[in-house]
Amino acid sequence: MTKKQKNVLAAWIVVIIAFLGGLALANVQNKVPPVMQAIMAYFDIGYTEAGWLTSIFTIMGMVTAIPASWLLHKLGPKNIGVISLACAAVGSLIGVFSDNLALLMASRVIEGIGVGIIAVVGPAVIAMWFPPEKRGLPMGLWGSWMMASQTILFLIAGGITTAFGWQGVWWFTLGFSVLVLILYMWKVDAPGVGLANFAEAEDKEKYSFAEGFKSPSSWLLSAVGVIFTFCCFGFATYIAVYWGETFFLATTGDIELAQYEGNLWVSLMYAIEIPIVILIGWVLNRTKLHKRKYVGAVGFFLYAVILFFCFRMDAIGLLIPFIIVYPFLEGSIPTVYWTVCPSTAKSPEHAGTALGVLNVGLNIGTLLGPPLTGWMIENYGWQEATIPLAAAAVLGGILMCLVKTYDKRAQ
């Protein structure tokens, strides 16, 4: 094996472990929706409060996203990744023994610290190991972290909950986080001298953290992130419940069993999305950087259409077409913004800051999407709840078109 081949292999090993780190934290983030009915019954709460369980931890995600980019430079990807995964493990452990809603909410805040950190570390590691023109495929893999998590959890959560209660899902996320923490300690780090990409231009004596905030394009992409997570988490938090109530409650006669049926369909949908986002990443590798944003913009405009119908379907025959089409539209957007984000920084050494800024937006959208969608469902009904989701997606497409990139090598 040549030195170049060894470097490529080392890069992909690091990227795969970084992806598993993202998957571990995504599991922590996504574990509420698949067991929502069980959580609501256990704590005697409604849709709005249950929505806050999905989004409350993003407050800490917002708080930690910017410091995470600074800590990345100070501590390196290995140490900061270990901190992130430790937060996931500790939060899950507290959640397992929560006997009141306040304590469970507190555990979600701790988990949110980890999510805020890993969402910066994962793509930053990819940017370290791959030049801009080669980032599409690894960023496509990274972009599937949420879909992979949703696939796994919606598939297994029903069986785990039946056997062990909702706490069983918390035990699962705890064990997975500890396993990946060990892998992080073993292999993940910045590349050796001469291999780093976004970090190679960094002069540590001249590096100014504040300069990284002066790119309007990074903030514009952050606004795109707000809109996307508002839409996708507003949708994902309730779609299994909607499908369960609409299509399966009459046949099962039990609301939790009906959601379990809905979970299986959601799991299948996100399983389809995983190879799609990787494929989109492969396509982006063959698309000039300054044109990649239009892939995301078109995805947003079409996403608006399918979101408008997501809580309006009343015929079970529409499920199969929906779960085939939806992954293409949702999957195009995060693949594009993760790939483009490092290049919205005006200089390569501030790519980490750009990722931090993006993650502030992603956390804001995650914070707002579930409770506001839940509020719309409770007060106006399922159909009306689709209107703000679809309108937001249209705005996201417009903003994506305005994003500017600065990496001249990829023009």
Q: What residue has token string 């992080």?
A: 184
Q: Is the pLDDT of residue 275 over 80?
A: yes
* Cα-based distances in Å from 295 to 72, 284, 285, 301, 378: 30, 9, 12, 10, 35
Lowest-pLDDT range of 180-194, 221-235, 359-373: 180-194
3-state secondary structure 152-199: HHHHHHHHHHHHHCCHHHHHHHHHHHHHHHHHHHHHCCCCCCCCCCCC
Q: Is the pLDDT of residue 177 over 80?
A: yes
Q: Is the pLDDT of residue 192 over 80?
A: no
**Distance (Å, rounded) from C-alpha 16 to C-alpha 265?**
27
H or E segment at 200?
Answer: none
At residue 230, the pLDDT reads 96
Closest to 334 in 3D by CA, of 364, 358, 307: 358
132 vs 283: which has the higher pLDDT: 283
At residue 407, the pLDDT reads 66
At residue 216, the pLDDT reads 92
Closest to 187 in 3D by CA, of 311, 14, 56: 14
**Distance (Å, rounded) from C-alpha 317 to C-alpha 322?**
9
Lowest-pLDDT range of 18-22, 139-143, 257-261, 290-294: 257-261
Q: What is the pTM of this model?
A: 0.79
